[in-house]
Amino acid sequence: MGLCSRCFGIFLGMFFLGIFLGIKGENKIYWKSSFVLMIPIIIDGVTQLKGLRQSNNSLRLITGLLGGIGAGIIIFPVYFKLIIWLKNIVKIGGDKRQKNRRISILKNNQWEEKNEN
Protein backbone atom coordinates (compact mmCIF):
# COMPACT_ATOMS: atom_id res chain seq x y z
CA MET A 1 0.00 0.00 0.00
CA GLY A 2 1.38 3.36 -0.99
CA LEU A 3 1.48 6.29 1.38
CA CYS A 4 2.28 9.85 0.36
CA SER A 5 5.07 11.74 2.07
CA ARG A 6 2.71 14.26 3.65
CA CYS A 7 0.52 11.54 5.21
CA PHE A 8 3.60 9.67 6.40
CA GLY A 9 4.86 12.89 8.02
CA ILE A 10 1.52 13.43 9.75
CA PHE A 11 1.50 9.91 11.18
CA LEU A 12 5.16 10.13 12.17
CA GLY A 13 4.68 13.49 13.89
CA MET A 14 1.65 12.26 15.81
CA PHE A 15 3.45 9.04 16.77
CA PHE A 16 6.46 10.82 18.26
CA LEU A 17 4.28 13.44 19.93
CA GLY A 18 2.15 10.68 21.48
CA ILE A 19 5.25 9.04 22.92
CA PHE A 20 6.54 12.39 24.20
CA LEU A 21 3.23 13.38 25.82
CA GLY A 22 2.79 9.90 27.28
CA ILE A 23 6.20 10.07 28.96
CA LYS A 24 5.86 13.69 30.04
CA GLY A 25 2.23 13.28 31.15
CA GLU A 26 1.17 16.62 29.69
CA ASN A 27 -2.60 17.13 29.38
CA LYS A 28 -2.76 20.81 28.52
CA ILE A 29 -3.92 21.92 25.07
CA TYR A 30 -1.74 24.61 23.48
CA TRP A 31 -4.12 26.10 20.92
CA LYS A 32 -1.86 28.83 19.53
CA SER A 33 1.11 26.51 19.06
CA SER A 34 -1.11 23.95 17.40
CA PHE A 35 -2.51 26.37 14.84
CA VAL A 36 0.92 27.88 14.13
CA LEU A 37 2.31 24.39 13.44
CA MET A 38 -0.57 23.62 11.06
CA ILE A 39 -0.11 26.76 8.92
CA PRO A 40 2.71 25.31 6.71
CA ILE A 41 0.71 22.20 5.77
CA ILE A 42 -2.32 24.32 4.90
CA ILE A 43 -0.26 26.67 2.73
CA ASP A 44 1.55 23.78 1.04
CA GLY A 45 -1.65 21.87 0.32
CA VAL A 46 -3.71 24.82 -0.90
CA THR A 47 -1.02 26.27 -3.17
CA GLN A 48 -0.41 22.86 -4.71
CA LEU A 49 -4.16 22.23 -5.14
CA LYS A 50 -4.66 25.60 -6.86
CA GLY A 51 -1.75 24.85 -9.21
CA LEU A 52 0.31 27.82 -8.07
CA ARG A 53 3.39 25.66 -7.58
CA GLN A 54 4.57 22.06 -7.48
CA SER A 55 5.47 20.53 -4.09
CA ASN A 56 8.20 17.90 -3.63
CA ASN A 57 8.40 14.92 -1.28
CA SER A 58 10.85 16.45 1.21
CA LEU A 59 8.67 19.56 1.61
CA ARG A 60 5.58 17.36 2.00
CA LEU A 61 7.31 15.29 4.68
CA ILE A 62 8.38 18.39 6.65
CA THR A 63 4.96 20.06 6.44
CA GLY A 64 3.32 16.74 7.32
CA LEU A 65 5.51 16.39 10.43
CA LEU A 66 4.62 19.92 11.56
CA GLY A 67 0.93 19.40 10.81
CA GLY A 68 0.89 16.06 12.63
CA ILE A 69 2.48 17.57 15.70
CA GLY A 70 0.05 20.50 15.54
CA ALA A 71 -2.99 18.23 15.27
CA GLY A 72 -1.64 15.93 17.97
CA ILE A 73 -1.29 18.84 20.40
CA ILE A 74 -5.09 19.06 20.33
CA ILE A 75 -6.04 15.41 19.83
CA PHE A 76 -3.89 13.65 22.45
CA PRO A 77 -4.82 15.71 25.54
CA VAL A 78 -8.51 15.39 24.65
CA TYR A 79 -8.05 11.65 24.16
CA PHE A 80 -6.19 11.21 27.48
CA LYS A 81 -8.86 13.20 29.38
CA LEU A 82 -11.63 11.15 27.74
CA ILE A 83 -9.98 7.88 28.73
CA ILE A 84 -9.56 9.03 32.35
CA TRP A 85 -13.18 10.24 32.41
CA LEU A 86 -14.42 6.89 31.10
CA LYS A 87 -12.29 5.00 33.65
CA ASN A 88 -13.88 7.07 36.44
CA ILE A 89 -17.37 6.23 35.18
CA VAL A 90 -16.53 2.52 35.25
CA LYS A 91 -14.96 2.82 38.72
CA ILE A 92 -17.86 4.77 40.20
CA GLY A 93 -20.49 2.52 38.68
CA GLY A 94 -18.52 -0.65 39.40
CA ASP A 95 -18.33 -2.87 42.45
CA LYS A 96 -19.51 -0.99 45.56
CA ARG A 97 -17.64 -3.37 47.88
CA GLN A 98 -14.31 -2.24 46.53
CA LYS A 99 -12.21 -0.45 49.18
CA ASN A 100 -9.75 2.39 48.62
CA ARG A 101 -10.77 3.25 45.09
CA ARG A 102 -8.55 5.75 43.34
CA ILE A 103 -10.20 8.66 41.55
CA SER A 104 -8.45 11.08 39.20
CA ILE A 105 -9.26 14.75 39.67
CA LEU A 106 -8.35 17.65 37.40
CA LYS A 107 -6.91 20.57 39.38
CA ASN A 108 -5.14 23.46 37.66
CA ASN A 109 -4.79 21.45 34.44
CA GLN A 110 -2.96 18.65 36.29
CA TRP A 111 -4.43 15.25 37.01
CA GLU A 112 -4.22 14.17 40.63
CA GLU A 113 -5.28 10.85 42.09
CA LYS A 114 -6.82 10.42 45.50
CA ASN A 115 -8.10 7.44 47.44
CA GLU A 116 -11.81 7.21 48.09
CA ASN A 117 -13.03 5.31 51.16
pLDDT in tens, 9-35: 999 999 999 888 888 877 788 889 999
On whether residue 12 sits in a domain, the answer given is yes
Average pLDDT over residues 85-106: 61
On whether residue 47 sits in a domain, the answer given is yes
pLDDT of residue 21: 84
As a whole number of angstroms, the distance between CA 24 and CA 21 comes to 5
pLDDT of residue 80: 83
Number of domains in the chain: 1
pLDDT in tens, 29-59: 888 999 999 999 999 989 998 989 888 899 9
On whether residue 116 sits in a domain, the answer given is no
On whether residue 105 sits in a domain, the answer given is no
Contact of 4 with 59, CB cutoff 8 Å: no
Contacts of 69 (CB under 8 A, 6+ apart): 13, 14, 16, 17, 37
pLDDT of residue 103: 54
Hey, which bits of the chain come out as E strands? 101-107, 110-116
Percent of the chain with pLDDT over 70: 75
> What is the number of alpha carbons within 13 Å of residue 38 lying toward its C-beta?
13
For 106, the 3-state DSSP assignment is strand
On whether residue 112 sits in a domain, the answer given is no
pLDDT of residue 81: 84
Please give the residue range of the domain that contains residue 70. Answer: 5-82
On whether residue 67 sits in a domain, the answer given is yes
Cα separation values, 54 from 8, 60, 76, 110, 116, Å: 19, 11, 32, 45, 60
